[in-house]
């Protein structure tokens, strides 16, 4: 029996024991929604719910009461019983009621303590503990986004080290980032596989284990992926802001139209949760239920993912870490246009539709956005224990031929003399992930 | 649930040690810089300015400028001063500056401004569907001094506010004593929507035609729909108000400058000052909220705009005889923003229970300021209402906030 099958069996058993009746009311919207949307969850999310329910089911009544004592006391102080609080799904009204309560922060801490206890239980001897795996976060600030070498790494406050890179001499006339990610057949001294198809080190590999997020149009060459010969998925998750253009525009149009007709924000959310988005998706998104719903949730949760490619990349990567805990995230930033006169305030809709004046690239603004958002992606990863020890982070600033590297002391690239050749960089990263 | 984490509970503060240290270092450098500036004001010229304004029995006016969410690190810190040249160099040397003005309530727009206006931490619906639960200083002032509604105005860019911000639900006060509320940015959005709906989008690209689009939107809309409550019982605008708005629109379009929502708010405010000279005026800027869309550069542009427009408002105060020498102007952010590394996506949002989000600053200018100084003692946003009420000569109602002793009329 695999780990996943064991977890599934544990959860079925927990549900049969009536574990949901032991949960505090504020846990129910989350847990019920996760169970209902099981097919849309990534393996990591399923395991998280399974761990919680299995843990609670294993406790005696007294132990269970002790575990939830703080949460239940806070729910009473908050007056949750008097709220119009949905127990079936997470709603804006639920979130709003919770956030307004003076006990909100205490409640957050108490809930986190319960999840921490479940995580600890899962790590006890005899349980299926997670092995330490090598992970990689690789981010690209492309050539077009010109950065200032004297300040570009300032925000990183010395947690890593900048390395000078040698010239790029790919025989295939490819962009450097794609050279790292995709196979390089027939290039002497270069690994034949790319980071997106290098042999993995996970026991149960799923496509959610490697992600590529792009503020532009996505990878130029997909001829090496399984999709080229079959209708299966790419073998990794690929989300491109450009290729999701139809999805974004239709989605934001629906959102703005509905805002005028529906008084309640939860109604808007509910409608958008149910809209069939398949026709708006590129094939690599529509082929995977979990990915399709991930994109919907990304756009619904805001943070600029519908509007700006760089926000899409940052928020997408952050959500990927939170939800899927992939072993590799590769992300490429890009250009956004300057807000147009008089319609800059109306950024919620397609500015090209509102104002026919030609778009003008915001070179400096896009580079400044990419600089801080690259840091945010790394900080998002380090919120989770999985990325705190054996993870390499590489941020490429192509316009200055530099990489900023955070890596454990055993990472072989530290031994290389500068400028580091780009083939050596690719080799070191592929070996790290092998 | 908020987006961000399972059950929205995960927050690891260990990532914050770096940025927090940075802020501390910046704060020290800022204080050193500010100390030099204030020392400069102790020279005779500074005294001359101060004595000029202490000129007897002029009626007091109040101009409260609230900037959306900005962090200390992007403003009054060593690295942030570059974003606020007017506040730091032109206004700080003559101001009473509270280094720590704290929002200890709900760090969302409607609640934050409601708390400032009422002196009590408000915990209301975030969407502005419910009026503040206790009287605003507009109501306290109007009821106590028996003044007309046109003496109290709110001009706001922020889309999260509604006209309910102008008065509380207290049955002894309420809308009968509330302020006029206008949202110029809503007018602009309406114009964009109208142009889009009627296929006249090319007009929004043509500066010469934007003015008529804005005026059409104003004529064709119902003002409640815009969030305004300046209309009369007939549902029509007072002709004087209408003229004021048209002049503001013309200045905004013909000025040739930037075209953001805050620019229009500034022009509208200045026009209201010139036409109505209200005793109490609250201005809420919100270009900084571009941060919600994840563009740091647009957020910084919003800070620059708020800095410049706040300074221009002070210039208007100093040049307008109805305001010169009798106006106390307060400038403060509604709250900060979340720290880098927070589970709430850092500068994008303002809902983390962190110092970066709650701890801001406040600047006071005008006759209520005895002498330029920096006050390190933390104050709270709810202290503003009783302070302003007292400045206006009213007895403040009992509230959670306390009058600031450094400011007096």
Are B223 and B230 in contact by the 8 Å Cβ rule? The answer is yes
Cβ distance of B196 and A354 shorter than 8 Å: yes
* Dihedral sign for Cα atoms in the order B387, B389, B394, B399: negative
Instruction: Provide the pLDDT for residue B4.
Output: 33
Interface test with B, best of A102, A119, A343, A364 (most B CBs within 10 A): A343
| Secondary structure of residue B396 in the 3-state scheme | coil
Contacts of B380 (CB under 8 A, 6+ apart): B101, B102, B103, B104, B401
Instruction: Provide the pLDDT for residue A228.
Output: 53
Q: Which two tokens stand for residue B66?
A: 């609230």
83-122 of A, contacting B, C-beta below 8 A: 90, 94-96, 98-102, 104-105, 108-109, 111-112, 115
Report which secondary-structure segment, H or E, holds A19.
none
Cβ distance of B1 and A155 shorter than 8 Å: no
How far apart CA B356 and CA B107 sit, in angstroms, is 11
CB atoms within 10 A of CB B89: 13
Cβ distance of B188 and A345 shorter than 8 Å: yes
> Helix crossing, B184-197 with B207-220: angle to 10°?
100
Instruction: Provide the pLDDT for residue B6.
Output: 39
**pLDDT one-digit tens code per residue, B257-266:** 888 889 999 9
The tally of CA atoms less than 13 A away on the side-chain side of residue B177 is: 20
Q: In chain B, which residues have their Cβ closer than 8 Å to the Cβ of A334? A: none
| Secondary structure of residue B289 in the 3-state scheme | helix
Instruction: Provide the pLDDT for residue A205.
Output: 64
Contacts of A87 (CB under 8 A, 6+ apart): A25, A28, A29, A32
Which of the four pLDDT bands, split at 50, 70 and 90, describes residue B42? very low
Name the nearest CA neighbour of B401 among B104, B58, B172, B63.
B104
To the nearest whole number, what is the mean pLDDT of chain B? 84
How far apart CA A95 and CA A108 sit, in angstroms, is 12
Instruction: Provide the pLDDT for residue A197.
Output: 84
Backbone dihedral angles phi then psi of residue A216, each to the nearest 5 degrees: -110, -135
Q: In chain A, which residues have their Cβ closer than 8 Å to the Cβ of B294? A: 303-305, 307-308, 310-311, 314-315, 369, 373
Name the nearest CA neighbour of A428 among A256, A178, A195.
A195
Instruction: Provide the pLDDT for residue A344.
Output: 63
The DSSP call for residue A102 is: T
A345 touches chain B (CB under 8 A): yes
Are A403 and A176 in contact by the 8 Å Cβ rule? The answer is no
Q: In chain B, which residues have their Cβ closer than 8 Å to the Cβ of A365? A: 295, 297-298, 301
Which of A268-272, B19-23, B119-123, B387-391 has the weakest average pLDDT? B19-23
Contacts of A349 (CB under 8 A, 6+ apart): A252, A253, A256, B196
Instruction: Provide the pLDDT for residue B31.
Output: 57
Cβ distance of B259 and A105 shorter than 8 Å: no
* Measured torsion, CA atoms of residues A185, A187, A188, A194, in degrees rounded to the nearest 10: -60
Instruction: Provide the pLDDT for residue A329.
Output: 97
The DSSP call for residue B133 is: S
Cα-based angle B101, B102, B108 (whole degrees, multiple of 5): 120
How far apart CA B221 and CA B224 sit, in angstroms, is 9
Instruction: Provide the pLDDT for residue A15.
Output: 83
Backbone dihedral angles phi then psi of residue B278, each to the nearest 5 degrees: -60, 155
- Residue recorded with tokens 């479940």: A118
Instruction: Provide the pLDDT for residue A45.
Output: 92
How far apart CA A217 and CA A219 sit, in angstroms, is 7
How far apart CA A311 and CA B292 sit, in angstroms, is 10
The tally of CA atoms less than 13 A away on the side-chain side of residue A119 is: 13
Cβ distance of B192 and A94 shorter than 8 Å: no
Tell me: pLDDT of B29 over 80: no
How far apart CA A412 and CA A216 sit, in angstroms, is 31
Cβ distance of A368 and B111 shorter than 8 Å: no
From B325's Cα to the closest Cα of chain A, the distance in A is 35
How far apart CA A433 and CA A414 sit, in angstroms, is 16
Across the interface, of A94, A112, A304, the residue whose CB is closest to B294 is A304
Please give the full DSSP string across A28-72, using - where no structure is assigned: HHHHHHHHHTGGGS-HHHHHHHHHHHHHHHHS-HHHHHHHHHHHH
B16-183+227-391: which CATH topology?
Answer: Alkaline Phosphatase, subunit A (3.40.720)
Beta strands in B30-145 (DSSP E): 61-69, 96-102
185-224 of A, contacting B, C-beta below 8 A: none
Residue of chain A with shortest Cα separation from B353: A105
Contacts of B111 (CB under 8 A, 6+ apart): A100, B105, B122, B123, B124, B126
Instruction: Provide the pLDDT for residue A203.
Output: 53
Across the interface, of A104, A115, A354, the residue whose CB is closest to B6 is A115
293-322 of A, contacting B, C-beta below 8 A: 297, 301-305, 307-308, 310-311, 314-315, 318, 322
A126 touches chain B (CB under 8 A): no
Q: Which two tokens stand for residue A428?
A: 């070191």
Name the nearest CA neighbour of A112 among A46, A37, A26, A4.
A26
From B151's Cα to the closest Cα of chain A, the distance in A is 29
What's the maximum distance between 2 C-alpha atoms anywhere in chain B? 62
pTM (two decimals): 0.88
A169-197 CB burial, b ≥16 within 10 A, e <16: ebeeebbbbbbbbbbbeebeebbebbbbb
**Per-block mean pLDDT, blocks of 10 residues, chain A (434 long):** 64 83 92 90 90 90 93 94 88 84 90 88 62 90 96 95 88 82 79 80 72 92 65 78 92 69 65 88 90 93 88 97 95 92 63 75 96 98 93 97 96 92 92 90
How far apart CA B114 and CA B100 sit, in angstroms, is 19
How far apart CA B409 and CA B392 sit, in angstroms, is 8
Are B157 and B184 in contact by the 8 Å Cβ rule? The answer is yes
Residue B176, judged by CB atoms within 10 A of its CB (0-12, 13-18, 19+), counts as exposed
Instruction: Provide the pLDDT for residue B382.
Output: 98
| Secondary structure of residue A211 in the 3-state scheme | strand
Q: Which two tokens stand for residue A167?
A: 């010239």
Name the nearest CA neighbour of B87 among B284, B311, B314, B333.
B311
Across the interface, of A115, A157, A305, the residue whose CB is closest to B22 is A157
Tell me: pLDDT of B8 over 80: no
Which of the four pLDDT bands, split at 50, 70 and 90, describes residue B319? very high
- Residue recorded with tokens 């300015």: B49
Across the interface, of B7, B15, B201, the residue whose CB is closest to A354 is B201
How far apart CA A93 and CA A169 sit, in angstroms, is 56
Interface test with A, best of B5, B6, B288 (most A CBs within 10 A): B6
Phi/psi region, residue B7 (left: phi>0; alpha: psi -120 to 50; beta: rest), is left
**pLDDT one-digit tens code per residue, B207-262:** 888 888 888 887 777 777 677 777 665 667 778 888 888 898 888 888 888 888 89
- Residue A69 preceded by cis peptide, ω within 30: no
Are B367 and B336 in contact by the 8 Å Cβ rule? The answer is no
Tell me: pLDDT of B44 over 50: no
Contacts of A384 (CB under 8 A, 6+ apart): A321, A322, A325
Helices (H), A301-362: 309-324, 351-354
Beta strands in A229-302 (DSSP E): 237-240
Instruction: Provide the pLDDT for residue B36.
Output: 46
Residue of chain A with shortest Cα separation from B286: A345
A342 touches chain B (CB under 8 A): yes
The tally of CA atoms less than 13 A away on the side-chain side of residue A312 is: 31
Q: In chain B, which residues have their Cβ closer than 8 Å to the Cβ of A344? A: 259-260
Residue B33, judged by CB atoms within 10 A of its CB (0-12, 13-18, 19+), counts as middle
Sketch the domain layout of chain B as residue ranges. Answer: 16-183+227-391
């Amino acid at each position: 029996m695999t780990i996943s099958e064991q977890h599934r069996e544990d959860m079925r058993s927990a549900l049969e024991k009536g574990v949901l009746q032991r949960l505090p009311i504020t846990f129910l919207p989350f847990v019920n929604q996760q169970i209902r949307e099981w097919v849309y969850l990534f393996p990591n999310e399923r395991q998280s719910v399974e761990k919680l329910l299995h843990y609670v089911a294993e406790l005696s009544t007294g132990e269970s009461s002790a575990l939830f004592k703080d949460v239940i006391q806070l729910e009473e102080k908050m007056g949750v019983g008097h709220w119009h609080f949905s127990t079936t799904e997470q709603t804006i009204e639920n979130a709003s009621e919770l956030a307004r309560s003076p006990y909100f922060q205490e409640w957050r801490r108490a809930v986190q303590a319960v999840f921490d206890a479940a995580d600890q239980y899962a790590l006890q001897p005899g349980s299926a503990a997670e092995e330490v795996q090598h992970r990689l976060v690789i981010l690209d600030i492309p050539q077009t986004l010109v950065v200032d070498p004297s300040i570009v790494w300032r925000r990183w406050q010395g947690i890593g080290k900048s390395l000078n890179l040698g010239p790029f001499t790919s025989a295939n006339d490819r962009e450097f980032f794609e050279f790292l990610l995709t196979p390089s057949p027939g290039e002497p001294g270069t690994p034949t596989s790319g980071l997106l198809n290098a042999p993995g080190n996970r026991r149960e590999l799923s496509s959610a284990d490697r992600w590529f997020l792009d503020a532009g149009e996505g990878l130029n060459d997909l001829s090496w992926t399984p999709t080229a010969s079959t209708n299966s998925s790419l073998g990794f998750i690929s989300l491109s802001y450009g290729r999701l253009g139809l999805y974004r525009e239709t989605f934001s149009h629906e959102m703005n139209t509905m805002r005028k007709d529906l008084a309640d924000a939860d109604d808007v959310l509910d409608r958008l949760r149910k809209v069939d988005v398949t026709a708006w998706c590129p094939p690599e998104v529509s082929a995977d239920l979990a990915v399709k719903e991930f994109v919907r949730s990304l756009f619904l949760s805001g943070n600029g993912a519908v509007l700006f490619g760089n926000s899409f990349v940052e928020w997408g990567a952050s959500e990927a870490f939170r939800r899927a805990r992939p072993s590799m995230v590769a992300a490429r930033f890009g250009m956004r246009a300057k807000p147009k006169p008089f319609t800059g305030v109306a950024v919620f809709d397609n500015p090209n539709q509102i104002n026919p004046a030609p778009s003008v690239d915001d070179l400096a603004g896009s580079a400044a956005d990419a600089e801080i958002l690259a840091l945010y992606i790394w900080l998002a990863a380090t919120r989770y224990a999985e990325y705190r020890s054996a993870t390499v982070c590489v941020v490429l600033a192509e316009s200055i031929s530099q990489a900023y590297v955070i890596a454990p002391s055993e990472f072989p690239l530290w031994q290389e003399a500068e400028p580091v050749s780009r083939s050596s960089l690719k080799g070191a990263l592929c070996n790290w992930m092998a | 649930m908020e987006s961000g984490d399972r059950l929205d509970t995960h927050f690891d503060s260990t990532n914050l040690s770096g940025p927090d240290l940075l802020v501390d270092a910046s704060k020290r450098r800022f204080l050193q810089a500010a100390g030099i500036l204030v020392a400069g004001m102790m020279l005779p010229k500074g005294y001359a300015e101060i004595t000029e304004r202490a000129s007897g029995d002029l009626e007091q006016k109040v101009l409260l400028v609230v900037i959306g969410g900005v962090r200390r690190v992007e403003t009054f810190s060593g690295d942030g001063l570059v974003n606020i040249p007017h506040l730091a160099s032109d206004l700080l040397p003559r101001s009473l500056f509270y280094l720590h003005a704290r929002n200890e309530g709900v760090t969302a727009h409607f609640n934050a401004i409601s708390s400032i206006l009422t002196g009590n931490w408000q915990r209301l619906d975030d969407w502005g569907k419910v009026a503040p639960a206790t009287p605003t200083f507009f109501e306290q002032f109007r009821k106590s001094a028996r003044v007309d509604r046109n003496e109290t105005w709110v001009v706001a860019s922020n889309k999260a506010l509604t006209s309910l911000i102008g008065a509380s639900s207290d049955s002894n006060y309420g809308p009968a004593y509330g302020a006029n509320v206008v949202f110029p940015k809503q007018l602009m959005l309406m114009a964009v929507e109208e142009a889009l709906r009627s296929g006249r989008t090319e007009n929004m690209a043509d500066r010469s035609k934007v003015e008529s689009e804005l005026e059409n939107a104003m004529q064709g809309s119902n003002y409640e729909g815009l969030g305004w409550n300046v209309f009369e019982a007939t549902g029509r605008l007072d002709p004087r108000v209408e003229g004021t708005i048209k002049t503001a629109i013309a200045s905004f379009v013909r000025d040739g400058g930037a075209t953001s929502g805050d620019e229009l708010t500034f022009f509208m405010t200045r026009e209201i000052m010139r036409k109505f000279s209200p005793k109490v005026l609250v201005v809420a800027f919100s270009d900084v909220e571009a941060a919600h869309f994840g563009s740091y550069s647009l957020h910084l542009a919003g800070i620059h705009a708020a800095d410049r427009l706040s300074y221009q408002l002070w210039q208007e105060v100093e040049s307008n005889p109805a305001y010169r020498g009798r106006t106390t102007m307060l400038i403060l952010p509604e709250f900060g923003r979340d720290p880098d590394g927070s589970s709430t996506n850092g500068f994008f949002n303002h809902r983390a229970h962190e110092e970066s989000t709650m701890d801001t600053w406040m600047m006071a200018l005008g006759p209520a300021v005895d002498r330029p100084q920096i006050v390190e003692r933390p104050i709270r946003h709810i202290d503003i209402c009783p302070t302003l009420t007292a400045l206006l000569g009213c007895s403040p109602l009992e509230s959670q906030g306390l009058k600031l002793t450094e400011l007096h009329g």
